[in-house]
């Protein structure tokens, strides 16, 4: 008998929610209590990469994460994902070797599980002949809720739905829609957070009154406004909605009992920098959002990047070795520092040397991509 082997390598993106997902309606199915909207970030700068080999030579399934072998039976969501795919293609019985790694800190508030499961599902989809985006987003959701949004590029909405089949992601606009939009990630901590998202949101659903008001009264209208702002490329409205939603999410974390604190002092300094910058300019030019972690994700038009990043370096200077701290696209430099802006911000901020662990400069990008495919 001829040995049969097929291999595929896929890269999948991180997504950053601008209308947050926080709280499950069904813990087992991973369906949310409200819709959410996210921006997919460029896989050139942040991505998960997964290689899956299916072979008649393998005696069992194997899973390797960042170079370390994992026990599949210990990972219920991964096991369920494999069962789901095999149930859809019952004629495929060979075992799999799955090798996955991220090019960014895992579990540090950068949606690593979303990229990881979107990558896994996309790779399995190519191997098993399942390419329908809606179906793939449903399968990805059952691994990590936010993963369903990383199945698409551009801006994406996760429809909460009433059950597993009606809870899926759909694209609002693709990654070419808003070419001038840029994203800067200020990494305030690259270590694993104290309270994981899964346990944190469960505690919020059980103890916070604000979370239910938000899901029922705030998010539906906010999603309508956000879709409109994105389609019209209305940065002012987009920015206000993004910041308000981030603030409300972290208010819910504080309203949870016992309270959860994801943002740290550096995070709040980033908030002060953004609001101070916008006040000086006289209009909203920069927006922040924080997921379940202290890292600030900032949105702005390309023409603001140079001046704003000059202020970041002014108030969050690196005085130690900077090798490896800057990632992504080259950051534009301002030749002349606006001293009036520095003086204005100095009244609101104190300089925090070496408080950032890194800076990533990127943009909105595409969905998962095949980077290699082999068969024999």
Q: What is the CATH number of the domain that holds 156?
A: 3.30.230.10
Does 92 fall in a domain? yes
DSSP string, 25-80: EETTTTEESS-EEEEEBPTTTSEEEEEEEEETT-SS-EEEETTEEE-GGG-HHHHH
- Report pLDDT for 113: 85
Domain count, the chain: 2
Question: Do 22 and 72 share a structural domain?
Answer: yes
Question: Do 347 and 199 share a structural domain?
Answer: yes
The DSSP secondary-structure symbol of 172 reads E
Which of 101, 100, 36 has its CA nearest to residue 291?
36
Which structure tokens are listed for 87? 């149930």
Does pLDDT of 105 surpass 70? no
Does 372 fall in a domain? no
Question: Do 282 and 205 share a structural domain?
Answer: yes
End-to-end CA distance of the chain: 13
Q: How far apart are CA 316 and CA 47, in angstroms?
A: 26
Last residue of a domain, one of 142, 176, 210: 176
Q: How far apart are CA 123 and CA 241, in angstroms?
A: 34
Question: Do 304 and 237 share a structural domain?
Answer: yes
Question: Do 120 and 254 share a structural domain?
Answer: no
- Report pLDDT for 190: 73
313: CATH: 3.30.70.890
Q: Is residue 314 classed as helix, strand or coil in its secondary structure?
A: helix
- Report pLDDT for 89: 81
Q: Which domain holds residue 137?
A: 5-176
Q: Is residue 61 classed as helix, strand or coil in its secondary structure?
A: coil
Question: Do 163 and 236 share a structural domain?
Answer: no
Which structure tokens are listed for 196? 């994981």
Last residue of a domain, one of 113, 146, 176: 176
| Residue whose entry in the numeric block shows the structure tokens 């949870």 | 256
Last residue of a domain, one of 176, 204, 220: 176
Split at pLDDT 50, 70, 90, the class of 107 is very low
Question: Do 150 and 99 share a structural domain?
Answer: yes
Which structure tokens are listed for 226? 């956000």
Does 375 fall in a domain? no
Does 289 fall in a domain? yes
Question: Do 110 and 43 share a structural domain?
Answer: yes
Question: Do 201 and 89 share a structural domain?
Answer: no
Residue 165: its H or E element: none
Residue 26 β-bridge partners: 31
What average pLDDT does the chain have?
94
Q: pTM (2 decimals)?
A: 0.95
Q: What does the pLDDT average to over 222-227?
A: 99
Q: Is residue 362 classed as helix, strand or coil in its secondary structure?
A: strand
Does 208 fall in a domain? yes
Question: Do 133 and 189 share a structural domain?
Answer: no
For 127-169, what is each residue's pLDDT tens digit? 999 999 999 999 999 999 999 999 999 999 999 999 999 999 9
Does 353 fall in a domain? yes
- Contact between 85 and 49 under an 8 Å Cβ cutoff? The reply is no
For 37-77, what is each residue's pLDDT tens digit? 999 999 999 999 999 999 999 999 999 998 999 999 999 99
**84-88, 97-101, 107-111, range with the lowest pLDDT:** 107-111
Question: Do 166 and 26 share a structural domain?
Answer: yes
Does 368 fall in a domain? no
Does 259 fall in a domain? yes
For 28-39, what is each residue's pLDDT tens digit? 999 999 999 999
Does pLDDT of 109 surpass 70? no
Question: Do 107 and 194 share a structural domain?
Answer: no
């Amino acid at each position: 008998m001829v040995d049969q082997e097929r291999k595929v390598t896929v890269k999948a993106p991180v997504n950053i929610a601008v209308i947050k997902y926080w709280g499950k309606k069904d813990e087992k199915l991973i369906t949310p209590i409200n819709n959410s909207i996210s921006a997919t970030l460029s896989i050139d700068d942040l991505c998960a990469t997964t290689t899956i080999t299916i072979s008649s030579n393998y005696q069992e399934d194997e899973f390797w994460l960042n170079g370390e072998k994992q026990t599949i039976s210990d990972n219920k969501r991964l096991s369920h994902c494999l069962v789901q795919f095999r149930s859809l293609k019952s004629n495929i019985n060979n075992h799999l070797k799955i090798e996955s790694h991220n090019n960014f800190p895992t579990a540090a508030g950068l949606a690593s599980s979303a990229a990881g499961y979107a990558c896994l599902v996309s790779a399995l989809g190519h191997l098993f002949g399942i390419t329908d985006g809606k179906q793939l987003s449903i399968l990805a959701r059952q691994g990590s809720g936010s993963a369903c949004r990383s199945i698409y590029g551009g801006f994406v909405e996760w429809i909460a739905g009433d059950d597993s089949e009606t809870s899926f992601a759909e694209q609002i606009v693709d990654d070419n829609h808003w070419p001038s939009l840029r994203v800067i990630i200020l990494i305030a901590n690259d270590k694993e957070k104290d309270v994981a998202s899964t346990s944190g949101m469960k505690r919020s659903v059980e103890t916070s009154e604000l979370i239910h008001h938000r899901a029922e009264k705030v998010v539906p209208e906010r999603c309508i406004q956000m879709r409109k702002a994105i389609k019209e490329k209305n940065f002012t409205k987009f920015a206000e909605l993004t910041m308000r939603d981030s603030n409300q999410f972290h208010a819910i974390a504080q309203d949870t009992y016992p309270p959860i604190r994801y943002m740290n002092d550096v995070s709040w300094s980033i908030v002060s920098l953004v609001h101070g910058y916008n006040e000086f300019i006289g209009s909203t030019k920069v927006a922040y959002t924080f997921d379940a972690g202290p890292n600030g994700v900032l949105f702005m038009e390309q023409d603001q990047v140079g001046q704003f990043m000059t202020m970041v370096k002014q108030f969050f200077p690196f005085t130690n070795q900077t090798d490896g701290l800057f990632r992504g696209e080259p950051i534009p430099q301002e030749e002349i520092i606006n001293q009036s802006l520095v003086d204005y911000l100095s009244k609101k901020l104190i300089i925090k040397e070496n408080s950032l662990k890194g800076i990533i400069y990127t943009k909105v990008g595409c969905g998962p991509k095949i980077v290699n495919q082999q068969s024999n």
